[in-house]
């Protein structure tokens, strides 16, 4: 099943393998695309990945995780982003982008958050967001979505995971507000509503979530599924299920450790999900799909080590694929 096509709206993925967003820290301070990004994403497309989701791309200069993140806060970013999309499309894969505001975990200016609570470590205490700040961020998400469409992306993923701004609102650990936004689902809905107003209905709208915080009183799969169900009527098509990132806590990570979370969210929301977590063997990915843990599987770190794992392990699963013609002499 891993190598079978998967249809999302009018987009057909040639297989169920996803490259998830992973920060590359390779942009200049202006947030523009560099030659590295074309090689990086193009290699994974040549390697047979069905869906490639570009790294967290900042909607505002002060919303970057680092000063070397890609940006989408200006129309000037669109031509460079389009070159990534064209590269991915030319190599036969579907192009997605994740848009993000890092909130209290931003290291690119004055950090902001729902409440003045630091993430810890060397992170600063964020400025508590005013209503004007909230409205400005919502508008920035909207404009980022418009630019993503202009650049030609097939899928837009909202970053609602790993302790960045949207998740900070959703977690009772980082949100201690007393106004209407003490219910973080309201902020999430305003963001999704704004994005949905400009993102084409025929394209895929996804959201990445942390389904567990691994700490008492933190977010659980049930809580995050409730938040998704609160906004899915606005056009959410796909959920990318991860975990952690909002609190400094040790996680017992092992191959496939997040698959059970993906299964729970899939069941509670009745939406297709991407699942994974340190998966390095495609036979494990195949097993996860066949038993209903997830509809798609993301391979992160292993794709950094081996851009061609999808085409090179196909034979081990008994699948015959169209191997890249240029590399056919290297086929096992």
Beta strands in the chain (DSSP E): 6-8, 11-13, 17-19, 51-58, 94-100, 112-113, 127-128, 155-160, 204-210, 238-242, 273-276, 296-298
Per the structure, the complete domain to which residue 244 belongs is given by 6-330
Q: Average per-residue pLDDT in the chain?
A: 97
Q: What is the pLDDT of residues 9-64, one digit of tens each?
A: 999 999 999 999 999 999 999 999 999 999 999 999 999 999 999 999 999 999 99
Q: Is residue 1 part of a domain?
A: no
Find how far residue 108's CA is from the centre of its chain. 20
95 Rama sector, left if φ>0, alpha if ψ -120 to 50, beta otherwise:
beta
Res. 332 pLDDT band, cuts 50 70 90: confident
Q: Is residue 308 part of a domain?
A: yes
Calculate the alpha carbon distances from 69 to 73, 190, 245 in Å.
Answer: 12, 25, 18
Question: How large is the average pLDDT for residues 88-98?
Answer: 97
Question: How large is the average pLDDT for residues 324-329?
Answer: 93
For residue 44, what is the domain's CATH number? 3.20.20.70
Q: Is residue 307 part of a domain?
A: yes
* Count of residues in the chain: 332
Res. 285 pLDDT band, cuts 50 70 90: very high
Q: What is the pLDDT of residues 75-90, one digit of tens each?
A: 999 999 999 999 999 9
pTM: predicted TM-score of the whole model, two decimal places: 0.97
| The pLDDT of residue 97 | 98
Share above pLDDT 90 across residues of the chain, in percent, rounded to a whole number: 96
- Tell me how many domains the chain contains: 1
Q: Is residue 149 part of a domain?
A: yes
Q: What is the pLDDT of residues 154-193, one digit of tens each?
A: 999 999 999 999 999 999 999 999 999 999 999 999 999 9
pLDDT, greater one: 322 or 143:
143
Q: Is residue 122 part of a domain?
A: yes
Question: How large is the average pLDDT for residues 241-257?
Answer: 95
Q: Is residue 228 part of a domain?
A: yes
């Amino acid at each position: 099943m891993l190598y079978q096509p998967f249809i999302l709206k009018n987009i057909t993925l040639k297989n169920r393998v996803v490259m998830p967003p992973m920060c590359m820290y390779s942009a200049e301070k202006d947030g523009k695309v560099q030659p590295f990004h074309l090689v990086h994403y193009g290699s994974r497309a040549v390697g047979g990945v069905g869906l490639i989701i570009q790294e967290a791309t900042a909607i505002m200069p002060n919303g970057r995780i680092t000063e070397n993140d890609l940006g989408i806060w200006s129309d000037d970013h669109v031509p460079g982003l389009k070159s990534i999309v064209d590269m991915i499309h030319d190599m036969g894969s579907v192009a997605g982008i994740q848009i993000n505001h890092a909130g209290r975990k931003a290291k690119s200016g004055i950090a902001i958050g729902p409440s003045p609570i630091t993430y810890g470590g060397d992170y600063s205490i964020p400025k508590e967001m005013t209503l004007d700040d909230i409205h400005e961020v919502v508008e920035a998400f909207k404009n980022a979505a418009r630019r993503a469409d202009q650049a030609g992306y097939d899928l837009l993923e909202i970053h609602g995971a790993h302790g960045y701004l949207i998740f900070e609102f959703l977690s009772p650990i980082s949100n201690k507000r007393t106004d209407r936004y003490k219910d973080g689902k309201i902020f999430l809905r305003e963001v999704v509503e704004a994005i949905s107003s400009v993102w084409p209905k025929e394209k895929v709208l996804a959201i990445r979530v942390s389904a567990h915080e691994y700490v008492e009183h933190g977010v659980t799969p049930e809580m995050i599924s409730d938040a998704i169900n609160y906004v899915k009527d606005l056009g959410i098509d796909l959920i990318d299920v991860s975990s952690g990132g909002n609190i400094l806590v040790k996680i017992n990570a092992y191959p496939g450790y997040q698959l059970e979370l993906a299964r729970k969210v899939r069941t509670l929301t009745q939406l297709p999900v991407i699942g994974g977590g340190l998966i390095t063997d495609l036979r494990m990915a195949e097993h996860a799909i066949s038993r209903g843990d997830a509809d798609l599987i993301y391979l992160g770190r292993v794709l950094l080590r081996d851009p061609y794992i999808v085409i090179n392990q196909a034979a081990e699963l008994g699948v015959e694929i169209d191997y890249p013609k240029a590399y056919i002499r290297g086929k096992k």
